[in-house]
Amino acid sequence: MTEHDKRPRHHEQQGGFAPRGHERDLDDEERRLEREMADFEKEEERAKLAIEAELVKEHWGHDPERPLAWKQKAPEIR
């Protein structure tokens, strides 16, 4: 059961009642935001690839001296 499935029951258990139209509006908004986030992530990946290609071209086929920020490993947290 997903959080989406639990939401209406949880709300009703709390003694409240959310009108169906309002829930539908929220669901539509959630789907719209998920689509926008997916589009944003695709565009971000395309931008990274374009930057990498430009850097290789700029450095005559060689990788730059320092790795790109998104290719560096994050330090481990202990």
Nearest to 52 by CA among 40, 68, 36, 37: 68
CA distance 64 to 78: 31
pTM above 0.75, yes or no: no
Give tens-digit pLDDT for 16-68: 565 677 888 899 999 999 999 999 999 999 999 999 889 888 888 777 788 88
User: What is the number of H-type helices and E-type strands within the chain?
Assistant: 2, 0
Is residue 8 a contact partner of residue 18, using CB atoms and an 8 Å limit?
yes
Beta-carbon count within 10 A of 60 CB: 6
